[in-house]
Amino acid sequence: MQAIVVTRYGGPEVLTSVDRPTPDPGPGQVVIAVAAAAVNPVDHAVRAGHLDHFAHGQLPVGLGGDVAGRVEAVGPGVEDVAVGQPVIALLDDVLAPAAGYASHALVERAALAVVPEGTDLVAAATLPLNALTAGQALDLLDLAPGQSLLVTGAGGGLGEYTVALGAARGLKVIGLGRPRDEADVLAAGAAAFVTDVAQVDEVDAVLDAAQLGPAALARVRAGGAFVAVNDPAEPAAERDVRVTTVHVKADGARLAELFAEVEAGRLRLRVAGTYPLAEAGAAQERLAAGGVRGRLVLLP
């Protein structure tokens, strides 16, 4: 198998293409022939060494959490997934020596969702990381219908799914984005759209996908809730606001439910463009430059 790995931290030049034996799936595991792998901000962070507090210098590590493809092999005990079936998965182990930027990916059966034959796998690869994070962040916020939620970065991958899933839970969602994002954020289900936190009155909670930090926390009512998205960006708690950071976990059953939301037209898949796997560094640099809407997707 081919994989793009990080052998030392740095810029796109540190991405290395390696040829390795395709792993055999162990008990409860599945090997996917990867058709598409989405590029996310966390991949750039891994490459740059910003997640070394998990890796402690143990390199190489693989890159890429979002994959779509077809089952190539199943391990002992996996009886409900067949070779050849189309699947999507989140690979949530940031220490794995190979991950989604690869021709093949080794995943736990419990991490993957089977999708219907005929699914656009390039588009489907854009779902797992951000939809699961949005759902798990909303769980952390633990709001009741009718409560208000400010989502910063609402035009982005995580932000849009949080707006949509939050609105579906009956929350009054205010989306904060760039001016160009207004129509999309409102279409996703936001009750209001702003471009500056100063336009926001008090809210019950914030999901801070744009990492505005203290400026966004200041809008939360005393005793409300705030979810940050990256270590160590969590602002210091104040006024009894419950401040936490979401750390997405793979969950194939929930991913299947989220894919059903896509099929029902309540979540959308958004592909910004595709790159050959070998051009992963260029795709990461394009994402890091800002302004991308939808996901860039690597094609092995």
Residue of the chain from 25, 62, 100, 157 that contacts ligand NAP (CB under 6 A): 157
DSSP state of 234: P
Residue 298, number of CB atoms within 10 A of its CB = 29
Reading the block at residue 18, the tokens are 């390696």
Residue of the chain from 31, 38, 106, 246 that contacts ligand NAP (CB under 6 A): 246
Gap between the Cα atoms of 252 and 102, Å rounded: 20
Query: At its nearest, how many Å lie between ligand NAP and the CB of residue 178?
Result: 5
List 86's β-bridge partners, or say none: 70
User: Whose Cβ is closer to ligand NAP: residue 232's or residue 265's?
Assistant: 232
| 128 binds ligand NAP per the rule CB under 6 A | no
Residue of the chain from 33, 209, 243, 272 that contacts ligand NAP (CB under 6 A): 209
Query: At its nearest, how many Å lie between ligand NAP and the CB of residue 292?
Result: 6
Query: At its nearest, how many Å lie between ligand NAP and the CB of residue 65?
Result: 8
Distance separating the N- and C-terminal Cα atoms of the chain: 10
Residues 34-53 that bind ligand NAP (CB under 6 A): 40-42
Q: Name residues whose C-beta falls within 8 Å of residue 219's C-beta, 6 or more positions apart in sequence.
A: 150, 197, 200, 201, 202, 203, 206
User: Whose Cβ is closer to ligand NAP: residue 18's or residue 140's?
Assistant: 140
Instruction: Please say whether the beta carbons of 231 and 214 come within 8 A.
Output: no
Continuous segment of H or E residues that includes residue 130: helix 128-141
| 291 binds ligand NAP per the rule CB under 6 A | yes
* Residue ranges binding ligand NAP (CB under 6 A): 40-42, 129-130, 133, 153, 155-159, 176-178, 209-211, 229-230, 246-248, 290-291
